[in-house]
Amino acid sequence: MDFWFKSAAYTEDPYDFSKEFNIGNLYRDRIELKNHIRAYAVVNKFNLKHVLSNEYKIVVCCKGHKCSWQIYATWLLGSTLFRVSTYCSVHTCIRVETEGGNTYKAASSRWVTSIIKQKLRKDPNYKPSRIIDDMQIYHNIDVTYNLAWRAKEKAHA
């Protein structure tokens, strides 16, 4: 099983935000797949609509009016792996900058927590203001102080 997984397309950095999806990509579990989808949406500046999300499949599309961007992934029987079955990378909507700069609903405190957890383990004094700066510098994503604070609190829990 370990050898088989190493041949999968998605074994590198789980937070490589620029990584495009491909049909057949494998993810260790549902959470890893959802984190990648969310990160991709934030970086590419669009909001998500979760059409279906359960323990067997995930269907997510762009929230833009009649947009064709969509990803569909299913659970592989007998494992925790999820495989991308269908992916349409084309946006047919008009994506508009939101009022808060690069603030998108996909950039939730839970998602930011998944990004900062490692750094917070190394530096327990990691302040929300530094989280804001790091998210902007390294990921070109604007987060509010409140969101950064909530993410830090969740990481400590």
pLDDT of residue 101: 46
Q: What pLDDT, on the 0 to 100 scale, is given for residue 74?
A: 96
User: Please, what is the average pLDDT of the chain?
Assistant: 80
Residue 117 confidence (pLDDT): 85
The domains of the chain are located at: 2-88, 109-156
CB 128 within 8 A of CB 147: no
Instruction: Please state whether the predicted TM-score (pTM) of the whole model is above 0.85.
Output: no
pLDDT at 79 over 80: yes
